[in-house]
């Protein structure tokens, strides 16, 4: 059973999404070590969306925690670009002045970039 308006990803996008999940998980391990979350494609719920600029389909996936709170997302645009993020909420392992809010991935046409999203520790 699929929740609400969930949809199945086209087969052509599954390999990319698996790769993006692996990159998010690797980034999370760099900063959270043993506390890093598992970023699993099969735990995201995807919805098909229409790009208003060209009428072509895109997809938005959302991960939720055990309390149904959003903890990550993956956006696949119709032009081949993508953006994803997954919450970490951990202190920076090498600099106590920073806190890692989330890890992010983005790119287009097979080029994947990743980085943490930082907040100043207060």
Given a cut of 90, whether residue 75 has pLDDT beyond it is yes
Give the residue carrying structure tokens 């956006």: 75
Given a cut of 90, whether residue 35 has pLDDT beyond it is no
The residue extents of the domains of the chain are 11-120
DSSP annotation of 9 reads: P
pTM of the model: 0.89
Mean pLDDT to the nearest integer, 66-94? 95
Query: What is the reported pLDDT for 5?
Result: 63
pLDDT tens track for 83-118: 999 999 999 888 999 999 999 999 998 899 999 999
Sequence-distant contacts of 1-5: CB under 8 A, at least 24 apart: 2/45, 3/45, 4/45, 5/47
Name residues whose C-beta falls within 8 Å of residue 25's C-beta, 6 or more positions apart in sequence.
36, 37, 38, 39
């Amino acid at each position: 059973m699929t929740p609400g308006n969930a949809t199945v990803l086209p087969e052509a996008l599954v390999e990319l999404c698996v790769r993006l999940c692996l990159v998010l998980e690797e980034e999370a391990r760099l900063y959270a070590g043993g506390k890093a979350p598992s970023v699993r494609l099969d735990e995201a719920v995807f919805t098909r969306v229409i790009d208003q600029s060209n009428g072509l389909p895109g997809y938005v996936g959302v991960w939720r925690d055990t309390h149904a709170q959003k903890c990550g997302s993956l956006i696949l645009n119709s032009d081949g670009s993508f953006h994803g993020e997954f919450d970490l909420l951990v202190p920076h392992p090498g600099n106590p002045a920073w806190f890692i809010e989330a890890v992010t991935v983005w790119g287009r046409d097979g080029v994947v970039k990743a980085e943490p999203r930082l907040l100043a520790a207060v």
